[in-house]
Amino acid sequence: MTTFATVINCMDGRTQQPVNEWVRHHSRSDVVDTITEAGPDGILATTDHSLHESIRRRVRISIEQHGSQFIAIVGHYDCAGYPVSEAQHHWAIQQAVQRLKAWYPKVKVVGLWVGNDWVVKQIV
């Protein structure tokens, strides 16, 4: 049986491979459903954003149709979609994790940071 995890990642292609490898390894999943937006940590950290429902719908598909029990939200160095400091990204990732946990309380949610070395680190 194939196991799935879910990643809400930036559309920046530099983050895709390292994040997907990290998530496959740490979630022990075969496949990663990837939802991309420009600066998704910033999007999910805000209280009123038009993309919330779109992201929520796609995550719900991953959970309900693919059985994902693991969600990662990603922020990264040099993000064009959310051009803020690393500290601000970390704050946004923490806020996004809280929102995702509220939406999906039975699913494991982690927050990931991809630094200028393109190494993935779990921060939440």
How high is the pLDDT of residue 68?
98
The dotted CATH code for 4-122 is: 3.40.1050.10
pLDDT tens-digit readout, 20-35: 999 999 999 999 999 9
pLDDT tens-digit readout, 6-25: 999 999 999 999 999 999 99
pLDDT tens-digit readout, 49-106: 889 999 999 999 999 999 999 999 999 999 999 999 999 999 999 999 999 999 999 9
Record the pTM: 0.97
Closest to 24 (Cα-Cα) out of 1, 2, 5: 5
Tokens of 63: 């959970």
Closest to 46 (Cα-Cα) out of 20, 5, 84, 1: 84
How high is the pLDDT of residue 49?
83
Q: Averaged over 104-124, what is the pLDDT? A: 98
Residues 21, 46 contacting (CB under 8 angstroms): no
How far apart are alpha carbons 28 and 20 in whole angstroms? 11
Closest to 44 (Cα-Cα) out of 72, 66, 19, 64: 72
How high is the pLDDT of residue 121?
98
User: Where along the chain do its domains lie?
Assistant: 4-122
